[in-house]
Amino acid sequence: MDISRIGVVGAGQMGNGIAHVFALAGYDVIVTDVSEAALDKARGTIESNLDRQVRGDKITAEARDAALGRISTTLTLADIGQTDLVIEAATEREAIKTKIFEDLVPHLAPHTLLTSNTSSISITRLASRTDRPEKFMGFHFMNPVPVMQLVELIRGIATDRDTFDALHKVVESLGKTAATAEDFPAFIVNRILMPMINEAIYALFEGVGSVEALDTSMKLGANHPMGPLELADFIGLDTCLAIMNVLHDGFADTKYRPCPLLTKYVEAGWLGRKTGRGFYDYSGDTPRPTR
C-alpha cells in the first residue's frame, strides 16, 4: 500500500506536531481545521519548532525548508478526502470525532485509510460510524509529537491485517517506535499514566502534600522527569478529565473515579499551561504552585 499524501484533521497541539513529523519524513501533508487562525498558528508553531531543530543541529536548514514546502492547509474538510491516510486529531470528545468521520466519508477515495489520534476512545466504535471499519485504526502519538518516540497502534475489532501492516511501516518511516495495544479504554500509556495523575490530585485534595511536595517527591523519589501535577498541566486538565471519564465509564470501576478537585479545576477553566493556570500559575517568568 503506497502512502504518500497525509490528511490531518485538527491544527492544535497534536495536529501540528503530527504534520511536522510527517512533512519532515517526506510526506505531503494537508491540514484542516474550522478556524483560519488555528491554521495560521499551527504553521507558525511548526516553523518555530523546525527552526529549533536546525539550531540544535537535529536537521539542516534545507530539510526545514523542504518540510515547510510539503505542508498545505484548508478550511474545507472534504479537501483531505483524496489523501492516502487521514489522521483525526481533534478535541478528545467522541461526538466531535464521530461527526468529523461521518462528514468525511462521502469524500474519501476507495483506498484511503482512516485513523484517530484519540488517547482513550473506542476505536471499534469510531470505526463503526464509517464505511470502512476494516481500514480504520487508532494512531496515537505522544505529546510533544516531534520529541516523543512512541506511537500506539490500536486495532479495532474489524481492522484488517493490511491496514495494520501499512501503518506499522509508516511509524517506522517516521523514525518512531510502535507499540500495539488492544482496543480497551485508554489503551496502554493512559491506562497506566492517568490513574497515577488522578491519584496525585487526590493526594493534593486530601492534604497529603502540596503541589510542590508531590511533584518533587515523584521527580526525586521515582526519577520521573516531570511531577504528575506538572505533567497534568502540560497535557491539559480537560484532557485528563476526559480520559478518566472514559476509564470510569468503560470499566465501571470506582478506582477510575475522577478526583473532584480535577473536575473543579476544569469547571473553573484552569486547564493548565494552555490557559495560563492549572496546578501552577504560568503568568510570571517561573511557574508558581496554585495550592
Which residue ranges make up the annotated binding site for NAD(+)? 10-15, 33, 92, 97, 119, 143, 274
Query: Is 47 annotated in the active site?
Result: no
Exposure b/e, 57-74, CB count within 10 A at least 16 = b: eebeeebbeebeebbebe
Cell of 119: 488517547
Question: Three cell numbers at 195?
Answer: 490513574
Instruction: Decide if 119 is catalytic.
Output: yes
From the list 119, 120, 122, 198, the catalytic residue is 119
Q: First CA to last CA across the chain, in angstroms?
A: 53
Q: Which residues contact 90 (CB under 8 A, 6 or more apart)?
A: 9, 10, 12, 15, 96, 97, 100
Task: Give the whole-angstrom CA distance, residue 70 versus residue 258.
Answer: 42
Residues in the chain: 291
The backbone torsions φ and ψ at residue 207, rounded to the nearest 5 degrees and listed phi first, read 80, 20
Compute φ and ψ for 168, nearest 5 degrees: -65, -40
- Residue 217 catalytic? no
**Whole-angstrom Cα distance, residue 60 to residue 14?**
23
Question: Cα(178)–Cα(190) distance, rounded to whole angstroms?
Answer: 15
Residue of 88, 94, 152, 230 marked catalytic? 152
Pick the closest to residue 72 from 147, 143, 142, 5 (CA basis).
5
Local structure of 116: helix, strand or coil: strand
CA 125 and chain centroid, separation:
18
- Numbered residues of the known binding site: 10-15, 33, 92, 97, 119, 143, 274
CA distance linking residue 84 with residue 98, whole number of Å: 20
Residue among 49, 120, 190, 198 flagged as catalytic:
190
Catalytic residue at 248? no
Q: Which residues are catalytic?
A: 119, 140, 152, 190
